[in-house]
Structure 1
Amino acid sequence: MRIAILGNQESWYCEQLSQAAHSRGHDARKIEFRDLASLISGTAPEQCFSYDAAQNQIELNQFDCLIIRTMPPGSLEQVVFRMDLLGRLEQAGVTIFNSPRAIECAVDKYLTTSRLAAAGLPVPATAVCESSEAAMQHFETLGGDVVVKPLFGSEGRGIFRISDPDLAYRSFRTLERTQAVIYLQKYIPHPGYDLRILILNGNIIGAIRRHGMNDFRTNISRQGQAESYQPSDQEVELAVRAAELTQATFAGVDLLCPADAPENLSLLEVNAVPGWRGFQSATNIDVAALVIEYLEQKRNNRPTV
């Protein structure tokens, strides 16, 4: 297969996927979002490109698979163009992993939380608004102790906890001035850890328990510690269902067990571009190899036209 890996070329994850692909005899190329381009010329089929360091064109339509390993910040125009181009490649027959629809849902915390709640899955009490006045009302409604998250973001970046009304007001006013959407969740006291379950094609790859280091955030990227974990049937069922609802073939699902009622699980997040470095260290599971094997199976089972 010809495989394009869309992400930071220096990324550990991109390198792991590239090595896994090459070890199985595939051609893998690393590309970045900033180098994406499209050429639409008359009635000829649209051509989607990337560029290498020497500005040579790489024809993306010729690839079998494109693996998305990041979704960097950008203007509204840039984000819309990226997603549209990925959608056009998918329509042209290139396997996009995960699909653009899954990325669009999972990267948007509001859409993900709303969709999970509508399906009856347990999520923390959440409020989303644009004005600081509305945010202050929700701050009180949610008990005066909330976690503020960027609508788009991962790895715990930009997340903070507020329980002081004056600090909350100043924070919400700052977010309002920057034209950010204010996303609040009721803080759930927990025993210092959460769960990350990794899903591939509706099946569990494995799970870890992540412990925070003097921080309510447990992300491995923020010095959290991971240990292998055997999830319960309920935890697996919730994770698989959450991945299905976001249409993510490959997903990292985060679950939280409240300290006072560990049986009352909450779904915190569904990540459609999940990291697995800490997961792999704790479980010794070669995730990149499993991803490449899945893409091989998908290609071999693809119906002929």
Structure 2
Amino acid sequence: MPPHLVALVSGTGWHVQDLIRASQVVGCRLDPLPFPSLAARIGGGPARIEARQVNLLGVDGVLVRMMPPGSLEQVVYRMDALHRLEARGIPVLNPPRAVEAAVDKYLSLAKLDAAGLPVPPTWVGESARDAMDAFHALGGDVVLKPLFGAEGRGLVRLSNPDLALRAFRAMERIDAVLYVQQHIPNNGHDLRAFVLNGRVLGAIRRTAPDGQWRTNVSLGGRAEALLLDPEAERLALRAAQSVGARMAGVDLLPDSRTGRLVVLEVNAVPGWRALSAATGIDVAAALLDDLIRWHR
């Protein structure tokens, strides 16, 4: 019988369709199942963790394609279920601890810093007044980021003190955590490395649209294939390792003041549409093949 894999997803968009296509390439059965459909049974017989009547304790691997929004209870339960799958010997890509670390910008940045990797100076807290002190200490040019978020959504660059105070107070009023990061001067581009099982599968240079500072392709950035130099590759691999990620999208930013790279963040549920288009790499097939080999 062909290997049986499950992808925990949110919706049926391009990435899900690409995984379905790739499952035919690698010769496996793939069930894309909505993350919120996870249900557990305990007692009265063998334990089960299932989604739409598929027992995940009986499959050959689980790919965490997306962690959809939810309440604190819902997200914690989903992570608990992933931990139980891992404890029962089911390969989970990414491992739940990596997902937990990478989805939280503060925790992942702290792990990167503890590993000795260069990261942007950053302040995290809950007080708008303290955030203003940090704004000035960080040079008066910062990026306010949601603690949980991806694809450049919700990022605000602030260089005007009045606007910064308004933004910080607005975040404070909704009981949000303020994640304030020094803006790193650059030449309008950054690097995205896709790490899989201890190697860089491929990389792209992302260039921001004219007049913009965010390079995300989903926001209009341009991607081109890139062969990383040894230093960039070393940083990408160490960044993924520092958060325990077997699969990772690592964002590296060249600091135009120093010429050095800094590690912006690590994404443990990375997309690959731009990477595949720019490089021709069949990322989806590589992910499924890695899960199959891991199981064996």
TM-score by length of 1: 0.93
Post-superposition CA distance 1:86-129 (Å, at most 9, x none):
11111122111100011001111101111111121100000000
Q: How many residues align?
A: 293
| Equivalent in the alignment of 1:230 | 227
Distance 1:34 1:249 in 2: 24
Residue type of the partner of 1:130? E
Q: Is contact 2:10-2:67 (8 Å) kept?
A: no
Identity over the aligned pairs, expressed in percent?
48
Distance 2:290 2:167 in 1: 44
Task: Flag structure 1 segments of 5+ consecutive residues without an equivalent.
Answer: 52-56, 301-305
Residue 9 of structure 1, CA deviation: 3.6
Query: Which structure has the higher relative contact order (CA within 8 Å, separation 6+)?
Result: 2
Distance 1:170 1:9 in 2: 35
Correspondence for 2:109 among 91, 102, 113 = 113
Residue 69 of structure 1, CA deviation: 0.8
Q: Is contact 1:5-1:18 (8 Å) kept?
A: no
How do 1:169-180 residues align onto structure 2 when only pairs under 5 Å count? Answer: 169-180=165-176
| Equivalent in the alignment of 1:99 | 95
Correspondence for 2:23 among 16, 21, 24 = 21
Residue type of the partner of 2:31? R
Q: Is contact 2:10-2:68 (8 Å) kept?
A: no
Distance 2:63 2:14 in 1: 14
Q: Is contact 1:116-1:242 (8 Å) kept?
A: yes
Structure 1 runs (4+) greater than 3 angstroms displaced: none
| Equivalent in the alignment of 1:54 | none
Residue 144 of structure 1, CA deviation: 0.9
| Equivalent in the alignment of 2:247 | 250
Post-superposition CA distance 1:51-107 (Å, at most 9, x none):
2xxxxx222212111101111221111111010011111112211110001100111
Distance 1:116 1:166 in 2: 32
SS in 1 for 2:73: helix
TM-score by length of 2: 0.96
Distance 1:246 1:180 in 2: 24
Residue type of the partner of 1:6? L
Correspondence for 1:156 among 152, 155, 158 = 152
Residue 247 of structure 1, CA deviation: 0.6
Q: Is contact 2:61-2:292 (8 Å) kept?
A: no
How do 1:197-276 residues align onto structure 2 when only pairs under 5 Å count? Answer: 197-213=193-209, 214-262=211-259, 264-276=260-272
SS in 2 for 1:80: helix
| Equivalent in the alignment of 1:128 | 124
Correspondence for 2:278 among 277, 282, 289 = 282
Distance 2:232 2:180 in 1: 24
Residue 148 of structure 1, CA deviation: 0.7
1:47 matched to 2:48? The reply is yes
Query: What RMSD, in angstroms, separates the aligned Cα atoms of the two structures?
Result: 1.1
Distance 1:270 1:93 in 2: 25
